[in-house]
Amino acid sequence: MKRIRPAVDEAIRPVGGVSRDGQPISYNRAPAPDLAPWIARLYGTVVEAPDGHRLSCGLFNDAAVLRIQVRGDWEAHAVDGVLRHDRSALFFGPHTRRMPVAVTGRFASFGIALRPGACSALKGP
């Protein structure tokens, strides 16, 4: 089966570099050992882009994620409809199907991926 590679977006400049396919790479780290029972990963993504540039992609994650968006105009197609946010903290997943998302302009987001059962243990959603 031939693999289809996504087009490289030459307009964006990810601070963390790009994958072989030209996709932005986030800084991705394991948590401190004392947090590891509840937190799977910590990440940060910073991407420079021209004003008005729109990047469309999607989220499909088996873990619940707290995503803190500090820069960029975000749009997500969720079960409740289309959500639009700029600076905000959002809770996503786990997903049963791909959730389309898009961001306009330069962006930065940071997140915490939670382990299965962490939401219940922490009395969260």
**Residue showing tokens 């990440």:** 43
CA distances from 122 to 43, 68, 117, 119 (A): 20, 18, 9, 5
Number of domain units in the chain: 1
Distances from the Cα of 83 to the Cα of 3, 24, 62, 88, angstroms: 32, 23, 21, 12
Instruction: Find the domain containing 110 and state its range.
Output: 13-121
**Could you tell me if residue 4 is inside a domain?**
no
Q: Cα separation of 52 and 21, whole Å? A: 23
Residue 48, in any domain of the structure = yes
Q: What is the mean pLDDT of residues 29-54?
A: 93
56: Cβ–Cβ under 8 A, 6 or more apart, which residues?
Answer: 100, 101, 102
- What pLDDT score does 110 carry? 94
Q: What is the mean predicted confidence (pLDDT) over 91-118? A: 89
CA-based nearest residue to 111, from 59, 55, 53: 59
32 is a domain residue: yes
What are the angstrom distances between the C-alpha of 35 and each of 2, 16, 90, 118?
A: 41, 25, 20, 11
In a domain, 63, yes or no: yes
Q: Is residue 2 part of a domain?
A: no
Is residue 111 situated within a structural domain?
Answer: yes
| 99 or 16, which is more confident | 99
State the pTM of this model: 0.76
**Residue 30, domain member (yes or no):** yes
Under the banding of pLDDT at 50, 70 and 90, the label for residue 94 is confident
36: domain CATH number is: 2.60.120.10
Confirm whether 59 is domain-assigned. Answer: yes
- pLDDT, one tens digit per residue, over 54-72 is 988 888 888 889 999 999 9
Checking if the pLDDT of 113 tops 90, the result is: yes
